């Protein structure tokens, strides 16, 4: 009997009202312990955009990005990383020139330039000095009314009759665009546009 009273006394003495037994935390699992990446960090371009480091030009912008003209030169072979570096360095050092998207594993050099400060002939000469031959210029035409395959066939047939066009990369009725490569010594963008306009379709002016 005394042993029972002693047991009850010890239980009451060790009990504290309001105190709860805290659960022992389990160690974090491999997935719970890993830090989740911010969605914007996964897309640096969008992160910069939201951070304000990328902005659009004002309507009054008079720089090459808005007021200049574009030219796409088609290169013989494929440009490697060293060649891309030489081209970008040579073009960046010229006044009125802004190279665009000239990277390795490509056969195209895209350039934005100011016609009052540099000519197309000078740009071609710069590329040749970098060790690359030029097979022609690429031009993209937005075409109004090009909405069926039959019309696309008519546009392509008209382009094939134009001297100086070295290749027709696409005449697409879905995107309503035609992309051609031509020799500027034998034809011009205006003559190519006239060939397209000889069909029921019309070239849309920028």
Global confidence as pTM: 0.62
139-206 topology per CATH: Alpha-Beta Plaits (3.30.70)
Residue 41 pLDDT: 39
* Class of the CATH domain delimited by 61-132: alpha beta
- For residue 174, what pLDDT is reported? 92
pLDDT at 32: 42
Separation between Cα atoms, residue 54 and residue 189, nearest integer Å? 33
pLDDT of residue 7: 55
Whats the size of the chain, residue-wise? 206
Q: DSSP state, 176?
A: T
Confidence (pLDDT) at 161: 95
Chain region(s) in the chain for CATH 3.30.70.100: 61-132, 139-206
At residue 144, the pLDDT reads 96
pLDDT of residue 193: 96
3 state DSSP class of 141: strand
Under 8 Å between Cβ of 169 and 138: yes
What whole-number distance in Å separates Cα of residue 94 and Cα of residue 96? Answer: 6
Report the pLDDT value the prediction gives residue 79, as an integer from 0 to 100: 83
Mean pLDDT by 10 residues, the chain (206 residues): 55 52 48 40 41 46 63 86 88 86 78 90 92 92 95 96 94 93 94 97 86
User: Token pair of 28, please?
Assistant: 């974090």
């Amino acid at each position: 009997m005394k042993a029972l009273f002693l047991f009850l006394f010890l239980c009451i003495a060790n009990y504290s009202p309001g105190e709860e037994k805290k659960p022992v935390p389990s160690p974090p699992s491999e997935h719970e312990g890993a830090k989740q990446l911010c969605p914007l960090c996964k897309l640096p371009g969008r992160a910069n955009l939201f951070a304000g480091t990328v902005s659009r030009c004002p309507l009054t912008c008079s720089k090459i990005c808005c007021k200049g003209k574009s030219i796409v030169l088609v290169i013989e072979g494929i440009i490697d990383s060293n060649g891309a570096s030489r081209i970008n360095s040579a073009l960046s050092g010229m006044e009125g020139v802004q190279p665009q998207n000239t990277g390795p594993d490509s056969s195209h050099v895209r350039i934005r330039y100011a016609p009052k400060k540099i000519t197309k002939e000078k740009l071609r000469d710069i590329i040749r000095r970098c060790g690359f031959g030029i097979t022609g210029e690429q031009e993209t035409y937005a075409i109004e009314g090009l909405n069926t395959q039959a019309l696309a066939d008519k546009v392509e047939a008209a382009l094939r009759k134009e001297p100086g066009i070295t290749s027709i990369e696409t005449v697409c009725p879905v995107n309503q665009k035609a992309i051609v490569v031509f020799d500027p010594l034998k034809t011009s963008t205006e003559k190519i546009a006239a060939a397209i306009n000889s069909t029921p379709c019309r070239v849309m002016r920028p």
